[in-house]
Structure 1
Amino acid sequence: MGRKVTVASCSLNQWALDFEGNSKRILRSIEIAKSQGAKYRLGPELEICGYGCADHFYESDTLLHSFQVLKDLLESPVTQDIICDVGMPIMHHNVRYNCRVLFLNRKVLLIRPKMLMANHGNYREMRWFSPWRQIRQVEEYFLPRMIQEVTGQDTVPFGDCVLSTKDTCIGTEMCEEMWNPDSPHTYMGLDGVEIFTNSSASHHELRKADQRVNLVKSATTKSGGIYLYANQRGCDGDRVYYDGCAMIAINGDVVAHGAQFSLDDVEVISATLDLEDVRSYRGELCQPQMGNEPKPCHRIKVDFSLSSCDDIYLPTHQPVEWLFHTPEEEISLGPACWLWDYLRRSGQAGFLLPLSGGVDSSSTACIVHSMCVLLCQAVEDGSREVLQDVRRVVGDESYRPQHPRELCGRIFTTCYMSSENSSEDTCSRAKNLANQIGSTHMNINIDMAVKGILGIFSLVTGHRPQFRAHGGSHRENLALQNVQARVRMVLAYLFAQLSLWARGRPGGLLVLGSANVDESLTGYFTKYDCSSADINPIGGISKTDLKSFLLYCVEQFQLSALRGVLAAPPTAELEPLTDGQVSQTDEADMGMTYSELSVIGRLRKIAKCGPFSMFCKLIHMWKDALSPSEVAQKVKHFFRMYSVNRHKMTTVTPSYHAESYGPDDNRFDLRPFLYNTRWSWQFRCIDNQVSDMSAGASKQ
């Protein structure tokens, strides 16, 4: 009958500037799509060069190598008899654009530049690309000579256009365009486009996946149509993790979707759908465009059909239910996949973690354990790529992981760094957790190193600092805490470099950090201490979420040692013990609870609140627990701590981005690091408001 189409969408684990690897993964996805009967294959955004090239987009090499890959794709027999939709940067009239290139049988059909840029949060597309502003307008693009020699074409259409096959019409969106209120799929649908495609590089954040799904469903609920969504997967070379979730929808229903978290470098989903279902759906809802509407979409005709004449017996895909992961599952899976990408691509032999027995370092250890669970499962499921990568990491071509605990012992080293201020409780908690996950564990006493450093100071100055508990000043007390913390960082890197050497094994270890997002907000950590590391899987996750995650790990991984971790008060253990017990706690030092910090962090970053507007919101949010004057003290204390310690964020360990209120100075939160920490005008406004409220209350 010629009305059923089979289309395919992909999630690819592309890597910035890995042109050879990216090309192989693209070809593999096309090969799989064809094996599934697809006549159209969609890939993620900028898949040829990788989305995260950043300032490498300025380099002519990036454009050149992208065209070289496109040439190979055009010439490959794999790409024949299927419309291929790939992403790459292209310069047109000396302006750089983020583009989709659609080609078929060694001919470029059209080039569609991105019209709406992602330029907030983690994204800086306007730094490297210009948006195509000419709505429904098309120009001629002169192909590079290397492409002309393959295609026999001098020019191809470049601009806001759609592809018209013999049986349907296909229109392109790109990532941010779907999130925009003025999405192209709206006007394309009203002009008869039946299939919409979206190539994306959308990163993982906790509790975000349903937003994407709802946008795709709503795009076809309004006016019908088929929607293909492709996404990047994995660590492209930066702090974010792209979480896949390729999907295909029709008339408001998802009929096929891929995994959100997976170790597979290439995932292809396909669906067979009936174009008459779109036409029937629209027949009741859609009206023709009126005379005052913009001109119709520019159609590029191609002599090709997505359907066949004998498709009457071809079954179509039916709606499926999307089961979303819980936040605890997301913490277990997202950072674990990100860590594995980083480890296998870094050339290192594993991880080293200073394990203190607290919530943060225990959470990091559990994420590594979760990574080992995923690796063992992938090997058991027959993944040759994962097995090869594991063998390369452990340095044994015959190795085959048998159990997550056994693999953990191969690639994960934990160390408890004790001092005279450490308690037996934290030491035993760290040891018990290490035993349960299987890490190679060491106990390292740092007292000798600390005393040596203080001895040098005393020799030079003639003074020996004392803890506050022993009569010392605040400055002395803080300096003595920081010495311990920084010694731990130095020892962590020493053992990361040489512990495998001492065991007669090749390679080095990546040092893992374990400072959570709330501590970064206030700067409650020592600059260049053991929170300074190579990477940090929990740097974008709140303490509240980490506690929930550990409860999940108790049940999911049978890690009973975590119960003791959760029951203990968070403490740095940098001050002397009192009768053998910890007297220092994190929340007392910070002057607020972790749950309060999470609220403040969201107001500061997401709601864009300064001190006064934050106070105005919190007096209502916390009215049942705190008076206006108490709220004022909390707000002022936070902003003092935040501004005093903001400089620490300039050197913060690169962290997995998991929350939209992260304070990462280097990428996400572009704010000053030198402040007037008195906030005199702002705090005076708060004090005046408190006085007005108190006066108003006394009159009632």
Structure 2
Amino acid sequence: MHHYIKVAAAVPRLRVADCPYNQEEILNCVASAQADGVKILTFPELCVTGYTCADLFFQNPLILAAEQSIATIAEETKDLDMLILLGAPILLDNQTFNCGVMLHKGKLLGIVPKTLLPNYSEFYEERWFSCAHDLISEEMTYAGQLVPIGADLIFDAENVPYLKVGVEICEDLWGPIPPSSYLSLYGATVLLNPSASNELVAKGDYRHKLVAQQSSRCIASYVYASAGIGESTQDTVYSGHSVLYENGVFLGESDSFSRENQVISAHVDLELLATERRKHTTFSTQLSDVSGQRYYREIKFQMGNEEMIGFKRPLSAKPFIPEDAKTLDERCQSIFMIQATGLARRFEHTHSKTLVIGISGGLDSTLALLVAVQACDYLGVSRDHILAVTMPGFGTTDRTYQNALTLMKTLGVTMKEISISAAAMQHFADIEHDSSIHDVTYENTQARERTQILMDLANKTGGLVVGTGDLSELALGWATYNGDHMSMYGVNGGVPKTLVRVLVNWVASKNTLGAEASEVLLDVLDTPVSPELLPPDENGNINQKTEDLVGPYELHDFFLFQVIRFGFSPTKILFLAEIAFAGAYDRETLLKWLKNFYRRFFAQQFKRSCLPDGPKVGALCLSPRGDWRMPTDASNRVWMDEVEKL
């Protein structure tokens, strides 16, 4: 089970006070939603009568017509396994209430009155309606059924994990503490808001911010359905602007001022919401501080688990990289400055005289060097404080060697070249290793020799060794233990490989370091990712490509995000990967590298348990002092068994 459910907001065509007409348009929207696979459908506030009926709400014929329409809609939808929320005026306890009526398979599950009634500017609701707190009864007979009523209702699909639905109405969301805040604390993961929000200049932007913020605070999905242009335009205009959000993430919106029926839908991830709530411990701890609504009646119902129709929600194959160009530019600027500021602070605190970096001509060391340059510029110290060391070995190609030299030269840092070949050969002799055997000893000797050189140079110059390894390498354990795995400050430790590439390209595109530096950066980007620990091929080209050995980094970064950020199962991750990488990788290839990810991730925890300090730059980090604490001897059997079954 993937724990997705499709929610929707409907904006039907409407005639003020014409309940039979509105009833038919509501049923038309229901039919459209059914064809789209929607399971939870929200209509606007008072959609059966229209929100702008004004003193007609005092007319009994209108109230009775609304009740009859609700009864008819319930009968017409009795075979539909869909939660449907309708808005209607309801008489009870000698008062009239602005209510949301919840239907499922022809049954009225509950009625929720509006809590906060606007009575300012163009709104006069207190003239016609009473607040939910004025309600005396807890149930009523309505549309021929005995129905619970109150603002204390949560609708619990007891056979669907994590699905509990809460309702608040329009102005309820605008209050200092919306009812949805309490609803979410007591379990509601899907919040529905039937609304009648008139259109004003810039109000659409505010509406977005309001819904996004509340869905984020409540760690919930939020369906906001607003009244459309059929409402009276006597003094106000209604556009039907409706929005869908999930934990602050935009899922969709309607077209404003449409003359036709609209149903906007998206799949929400109930498992994701439940996982986020468990992780954010401040969410549940506030239960003890709740001074408002403390008890809720859970209205139980059963919902079928039909096949998912038309998967619809944002899903990026590159979850660490924003798609919008403006957002991407801002993100790169922010990450780059987090890295540089972290390094600058460590440089100052340790009273170091140099920043020592090994430069290979590859992506990671290039980004680390750029960060060090920015740190020096930020501190107002000359770049010659950076001691950049290139250490050619058995696998170094002319391309990466020349790129390393050119980059160091153009950036104006202190350059040093030390070949590791002789030292490595001496070490082979010391430990009696045949240098013609290109095994892990052959490779790791080189990595550790390079780290030893950097550490000793740092001691000699009063310096600090800047680590270059990235987040993806940490996840896969693609680093030599106590070799390139170790440093005095790892600036790339929170940056996944796909984002390293983007950051280097971003610096190149800015062209602030000069045309020659940008040209080298672009060539670094075009160079295959490799540790260059094996001799080049007969043409002098790289003979050891990392992604041929461990798998494509774009896949591993995708897996990493889903595993660590949300704790998803292999089955769900494969499901998402098949959608995200459709046409790029087949199922067999995805499974191959997913299996490799789990194998390496569990086996290599010991390297993550002793990571050097480094800045966290995003929501995901593998530092043992921060986001990820895992025993080094944990078994991966549960995950691997599931992958095998796939």
TM-score (norm 1): 0.45
Larger radius of gyration: 2
